[in-house]
Chain A
Amino acid sequence: MGSSSKKKKEKQKDFQKAKLKVGKTKAKPDNFTDTSFKAKSITLTQQSLTLNAPTTTTQFTHHVSLLGSKSDAQRRDSLAHLTTHLTHSRPGNAPLPQPVSTLLPTLAPLILDGSTGVRTQLLRLLRALPPRDVEDHVAQLLPFIRAGMTHLAADIRVTAVEVLAWLVEVAGREVVGCAGGWIKTLNCFLSVLGWHTEESSKWSASRAAFGKSGTAGRPVVKVLGVLAEFLEVGIGAVAGEGGGGDVVMEEGAGRTAGAAVGNWEFPLAQVEAHMVPQTAQPYVYLNLFGQPRDEEGEMYETREDRFRVFAARFLKAVERGVESARQDGGEVGRASSAVNKVLKEALGYARGAGLEV
């Protein structure tokens, strides 16, 4: 009896209307779904309402700013965009949308980037830069390259060596002649190759291969090649372009260089040596505004200086290293022969010039 009345009541309930009252909110229906939401920020899919497409210059600037992005892919894509802009869409000799001096400070840290894609793309971009503009910023770039060469990660080391190869190719004279460019870079080379001490250069030494060494022999070959180029520019025989702007005191070289400036009348000789140099920062060697430099950070501008330092500090280690590399044979041995050749040339030249070895 009781139960049936209860059931009846429950049935009745479904059909009863809720009473509306003044001043009270309407009761929500049973099937009500709450669609309100909270968000810290709301992103609209189309934010820009301008009809004009952004100019290439603004796009370029935008992508430069994106180089500091947190995402690997973003950085890589921006680099790719910049590269295509530099190589393809720039007509002829038109100036860059932004000068190299503003580009480089954002580009240089990317040498140490953790992502491989970014680094390869960076190398492409660097190669696309106009060589003449890079020359003045070598000193800015070199610390990053050196940091890369001694990095714990093998891949970064390889990239850094590749960047150095490019830089030597583009502005070899500045690389070996700028502050700290000679000794410190050579130190890094020795450290990459593990040639510093006698026992560490032996083949039997437990070459403390810390970290991933990458693909076995390849990096060493590459490094040896770059070392050969580097030494060639630094202390190799003076030939054509290599000694072109150097302050060379020999008569012969002076004559060849002088030819470019013009033929001077008889009483005037070696005039260009006394004139204001044509580089962008002619007096940088005075180091008027920087920190005082020690021996390692000093500039070694002439070939003789460089050779003297090289002979005193590195010659033995390099000879020893080259010898052991030759004994290794194979690709490494072949690569070492290039270094060997440069060494021989340099030594022969030095003996001819009367420097003690």
Chain B
Amino acid sequence: MVKRKLGALEKVEADLPNLQHKIRRDPKSYIEDFRAQHYQYESHREIFMAAPSSATDTGIISLRELIDFIAHVADCYPEITKDFPQQLMDILTQHHLILQAELREKIVGSLVLLRKKELLDSATLLQTLFPILISTPSKTLRALLFQKILMDLRSSNAKSTNHKLNRTMQTVLYNLVTSDRTSSKGLWAIKLTRELWKRQIWTDAKAVEVMKEASLATNEKVIVGGIRFFLGGDKEREEMEDESSDEEAIDMGRVKHIVGINKKTKKKARAVEKARATVKRRERKKNQPHPLNFSALHLLHDPQGYAESLFSKHLQSTKSKLNLDQKLLVLQLVTRLVGLHKLHIMHLYSYFQKYLTPRQPSVTSFLASLAQASHDLVPPDDLEPLVQKIANEFVSEASAAEVASAGLNAIREICARQPLAMNETLLQDLVMYRKSKDKGVVMAARGLLSLFRELNPEWLKRRDRGKEASMGLRSGDKKEKRFAEQAAGGIEGIELLEQWKEEERRKKRAEKGLASDAEDDDEEDEEDNWDAWNVEEDEDSDDSDGWIQVQSDAEIELSDSDDDDEDSKRPKKKAKSDEETAAETAAEATTEASKAQKELDQKLSLAATRILTPADLAKLQELRTEAAVNALAGVKGRQSASNRHHDDPLTAEEIEGLAALSAGKATREERIAHAKEGKTDRADHKSVTAKRKEKKDAQGKSTTNKEKARKKNFLMTLGKAKSKNKRSLVQTRAVLKAHQERAKRGGRRGNTGN
């Protein structure tokens, strides 16, 4: 619609924004005007309420503008406008279906504005908006309401957590999900909860409870929403946190430098202030203790019951309408719960039986789920037939290479969690696949081999055991773990600390010129320790403050595939008869065992004899990270099973593993693309000067006078060049003199401090 043009004469003054501006500056003087406009609003509201559906724009001022106006200045006249919020809410709740879109949005916006001005409390606002959100058919209104509700929840939780509001809102959401399990309205509860979870506004069990109920609903969308939250919500939250933490690092020095050079304006001063505040805030944030964020899976009240009901309701029951993808999601969640909380669901393993064939769509996901579902408290009797079936169906020379490698990987993952699911003959059979022609299969088989070298080398053939495993076997380190056997706990990394202390002591003694091995009088040491109670006082006690040492020549321990090939190729004469070796190992085992016992005692000794000071603990933490970094640097990019956090899910990609290797020869294009992958763009080859210049440009630095002179338009320089030739001697002298003077002063502006 084209806006009607008004002639100058017929223009009437109805300038609400102007009045609003004046009221803001001087509310008292304009109270009469405001009162008049309030009556005006009342009359318009009356007209509107008499016929809400047929309301048209009346005259030059509409109800919408009046509402906007009053909402903006309502805080100046709280007495006159005390009913205003309630009236808006009434209009919205009663007539939101027939209201014009613009008016509707204006009312919502005004309510939020009133909330910001503290004329309305959050609970009332949310109680008004939320029912409309779930009932309105208008998509735009829903989007608007969702955004506003979210914003309000965020802002009311910004300074400190508003527990009361959160609790009410969570209860509303919980009721929404549980009241009608067939309706899709629960989606709003899911959306809201997920968003707030992502932003770490809701991190408590109640929010998780809402999602739990959602995933047990009957509506497919709601179910999937709930399941996806458990599978991906925490990761999303972490990513969000990372994003917000490394937004843009502000270089305070640079900011100050720029301000020192450029023109000083208020705007720039403000920018500096802002940057300073941001830096300060980040500093403070950095020093704050890390908030305890339990993942949603840990906050579940009754994981066993939840997993069971998920399994029976969505997977086992024949009435469930979920399709395969959705079922897979449910299965992933169930198995993750099982693996994480070490649950036992009776029929879960037999349920898998049906799906473990190579022809099953997305079978790798099933395999991953199965591996996830196995833990060391699962009876081996349950798992053994499954492993057998995988071996039979997937791993054979006749099957495709990808299939075989996926099967081997799955078996490895299962056995990593429950080694007793394997038996000796099968293992030896499977290990033989490392002689396969296909690389993917070879790698998978080697993975299985190296796993069992750690877990139970006795089941391997002697020539497959490798050096370390045989030595461990002889010393008695590598023993078969019995069912449900738990390792004795200790302090992680305590041996590192002990080692470090020993080294320190040795250094000290070396300085003093004493024998490094001799016993030291402990008292001095003790004193040091007691000094170390206060970490803040002697911050320089740890010499590498905040730095982590990475050994430059860390030995890279690749998987021992090469040497073990050598092992197997070694002349047979070295192999002795089995009885002989057994006797030998037994004899050696006893001695080694006693040694190990001693070592263990020593390890414990530090923790048992001494109270660890905060300085010790800080050092311990440092050593631990150092060790972790060293380990990472050693094993490049390979994530072994022990490195994986036990919360992390196992994905189908990991089961598929290096199947890409067995996919056959790559085409030429693929090879070219692969070669190009790591390389930088050709355009990046530039001269050093050009690169520097670019960097300077990017940093927003100005050009030097030289550069300016070089860039100057040729035609502009012509005049001066011509006139130079025509100068008289006197003129030339004057110019030269002036130049000399200027050079002394230090340029046109001078640098003599005036």
A binds B: yes
Query: Interface residues, chain A, CB within 8 Å of chain B?
Result: 68, 70-72, 109, 111-117, 140, 143-144, 146-147, 149-156, 180, 184, 187-188, 191-192, 194, 196-197, 200, 206-208, 210-212, 291
Question: Which of the candidate stretches B46-54, B490-498, B684-692 sits at the interface with the other chain?
Answer: B46-54
Q: List the A side residues contacting B59 at CB < 8 Å.
A: 109, 111-114, 151, 156
In the complex, A318→B206 CA distance in Å? 61
Q: List the B side residues contacting A153 at CB < 8 Å.
A: 12-14, 60
Whether A144 touches B13, Cβ cut-off 8 Å, given contacts A112-B58, A114-B6, is no
Best-buried of A71, A115, A184 by chain B (most CB within 10 Å): A115
Given A188-B39, A200-B31, 20 more pairs with CB closer than 8 A: A70-B4, A111-B59, A113-B60, A114-B11, A115-B10, A140-B50, A143-B44, A143-B50, A144-B58, A146-B42, A147-B40, A150-B36, A152-B19, A156-B12, A191-B35, A192-B36, A194-B32, A206-B29, A208-B31, A210-B19
Q: Smallest CB-CB separation from B48: which chain A residue?
A: A143
Whether A208 touches B32, Cβ cut-off 8 Å, given contacts A112-B60, A146-B39, A147-B43, is yes
In the complex, A281→B271 CA distance in Å? 69
Contact B49 A151 (CB under 8 A): no
Contact A212 B13 (CB under 8 A): yes
In the complex, A154→B14 CA distance in Å? 9
B724 touches A (CB below 8 Å): no
Whether A147 touches B32, Cβ cut-off 8 Å, given contacts A153-B60, A210-B19, is no
Minimum CB–CB distance from B539 to chain A (whole Å) comes to: 66
Contact B46 A109 (CB under 8 A): no
Chain B at the A interface: SS class:
helix
Q: List the B side residues contacting A206 at CB < 8 Å.
A: 29
Minimum CB–CB distance from B513 to chain A (whole Å) comes to: 94
Q: List the A side residues contacting B22 at CB < 8 Å.
A: 210
Contact A150 B43 (CB under 8 A): yes
B238 touches A (CB below 8 Å): no
Minimum CB–CB distance from B195 to chain A (whole Å) comes to: 38
Q: List the A side residues contacting B39 at CB < 8 Å.
A: 146, 149-150, 184, 187-188, 191
B548 touches A (CB below 8 Å): no
B56 touches A (CB below 8 Å): yes
Q: Smallest CB-CB separation from A114: which chain B residue?
A: B60
Contact A152 B13 (CB under 8 A): yes
The one of A117, A143, A155, A200 in contact with B12, judged by C-beta atoms closer than 8 angstroms, is A155
In the complex, A116→B13 CA distance in Å? 12
In the complex, A232→B545 CA distance in Å? 92
Contact A191 B32 (CB under 8 A): yes
Contact B46 A143 (CB under 8 A): yes
Query: Interface residues, chain B, CB within 8 Å of chain A?
Result: 4, 6, 10-16, 19, 22, 29-33, 35-37, 39-40, 42-44, 46-47, 49-50, 56, 58-61
In the complex, A208→B28 CA distance in Å? 10
In the complex, A112→B61 CA distance in Å? 8
The one of B19, B32, B61 in contact with A151, judged by C-beta atoms closer than 8 angstroms, is B61
Q: List the A side residues contacting B44 at CB < 8 Å.
A: 143, 147
Contact B46 A196 (CB under 8 A): no
Contact B13 A208 (CB under 8 A): no
Best-buried of A153, A184, A210 by chain B (most CB within 10 Å): A210
Q: List the B side residues contacting A192 at CB < 8 Å.
A: 36
Q: List the B side residues contacting A117 at CB < 8 Å.
A: 10
Minimum CB–CB distance from A317 to chain B (whole Å) comes to: 12
In the complex, A241→B349 CA distance in Å? 97
In the complex, A146→B58 CA distance in Å? 13
Q: Give me the 10 closest cross-chain CB pairs, A-B, nearest first.
A: A112-B59, A147-B43, A153-B12, A150-B36, A150-B40, A150-B39, A114-B60, A152-B14, A109-B58, A146-B43
The one of B30, B37, B58 in contact with A150, judged by C-beta atoms closer than 8 angstroms, is B37
Whether A211 touches B15, Cβ cut-off 8 Å, given contacts A72-B10, A112-B61, is yes
In the complex, A208→B29 CA distance in Å? 7
Q: Smallest CB-CB separation from B19: which chain A residue?
A: A210
Minimum CB–CB distance from A11 to chain B (whole Å) comes to: 47
Contact A196 B49 (CB under 8 A): no
Jot down 20 A-B pairs with beta carbons below 8 A, ordered by A: A68-B56, A72-B10, A109-B56, A112-B59, A112-B60, A116-B12, A140-B50, A143-B44, A144-B58, A146-B39, A147-B44, A150-B37, A156-B12, A188-B39, A192-B36, A197-B31, A200-B31, A206-B29, A210-B30, A212-B13
Whether A180 touches B32, Cβ cut-off 8 Å, given contacts A70-B4, A152-B37, A188-B39, is no
Contact B61 A152 (CB under 8 A): yes
Q: Smallest CB-CB separation from B18: which chain A residue?
A: A210
Q: List the A side residues contacting B40 at CB < 8 Å.
A: 147, 150-152
Best-buried of B11, B33, B43, B46 by chain A (most CB within 10 Å): B43
Q: Smallest CB-CB separation from A156: which chain B residue?
A: B12
Contact B47 A147 (CB under 8 A): yes
Q: List the A side residues contacting B35 at CB < 8 Å.
A: 191, 196
Contact B16 A152 (CB under 8 A): yes
The one of A144, A187, A194 in contact with B47, judged by C-beta atoms closer than 8 angstroms, is A144
Q: List the A side residues contacting B61 at CB < 8 Å.
A: 112, 151-152
Contact B33 A151 (CB under 8 A): no
Contact B13 A143 (CB under 8 A): no
Minimum CB–CB distance from B449 to chain A (whole Å) comes to: 78
In the complex, A188→B36 CA distance in Å? 7
Whether A210 touches B50, Cβ cut-off 8 Å, given contacts A72-B10, A153-B13, is no
Contact A116 B43 (CB under 8 A): no
In the complex, A149→B43 CA distance in Å? 10
Q: List the B side residues contacting A155 at CB < 8 Å.
A: 12
Contact B32 A196 (CB under 8 A): yes
In the complex, A208→B37 CA distance in Å? 13
In the complex, A156→B10 CA distance in Å? 12
In the complex, A291→B52 CA distance in Å? 13
Q: List the B side residues contacting A196 at CB < 8 Å.
A: 32, 35
In the complex, A147→B35 CA distance in Å? 12
Q: Smallest CB-CB separation from A297: which chain B residue?
A: B46
Q: Smallest CB-CB separation from B69: which chain A residue?
A: A152
Contact A291 B49 (CB under 8 A): yes
Q: List the B side residues contacting A114 at CB < 8 Å.
A: 6, 10-12, 14, 59-60
Minimum CB–CB distance from B80 to chain A (whole Å) comes to: 11
Minimum CB–CB distance from A7 to chain B (whole Å) comes to: 42
In the complex, A153→B19 CA distance in Å? 12
Contact B46 A180 (CB under 8 A): yes
Q: List the A side residues contacting B50 at CB < 8 Å.
A: 140, 143
Q: Smallest CB-CB separation from B54: which chain A residue?
A: A105
Minimum CB–CB distance from B5 to chain A (whole Å) comes to: 10
Minimum CB–CB distance from B32 to chain A (whole Å) comes to: 5
Q: List the A side residues contacting B32 at CB < 8 Å.
A: 191, 194, 196-197, 200, 207-208
In the complex, A156→B13 CA distance in Å? 10
In the complex, A4→B706 CA distance in Å? 60
Q: List the A side residues contacting B46 at CB < 8 Å.
A: 143, 180
Minimum CB–CB distance from A207 to chain B (whole Å) comes to: 8
Minimum CB–CB distance from A313 to chain B (whole Å) comes to: 14
Q: Smallest CB-CB separation from B1: which chain A residue?
A: A70
In the complex, A316→B719 CA distance in Å? 86
Contact B60 A208 (CB under 8 A): no
Contact B10 A116 (CB under 8 A): yes
In the complex, A184→B41 CA distance in Å? 12
Best-buried of B15, B37, B60 by chain A (most CB within 10 Å): B60
Q: Smallest CB-CB separation from B40: which chain A residue?
A: A150
Minimum CB–CB distance from A128 to chain B (whole Å) comes to: 22
Minimum CB–CB distance from B126 to chain A (whole Å) comes to: 26
Best-buried of B12, B16, B19, B35 by chain A (most CB within 10 Å): B12
In the complex, A140→B54 CA distance in Å? 14
Contact B47 A211 (CB under 8 A): no
Minimum CB–CB distance from B527 to chain A (whole Å) comes to: 81
Minimum CB–CB distance from B507 to chain A (whole Å) comes to: 85
Q: List the B side residues contacting A151 at CB < 8 Å.
A: 14, 40, 59, 61
Q: List the A side residues contacting B12 at CB < 8 Å.
A: 114, 116, 153, 155-156, 212
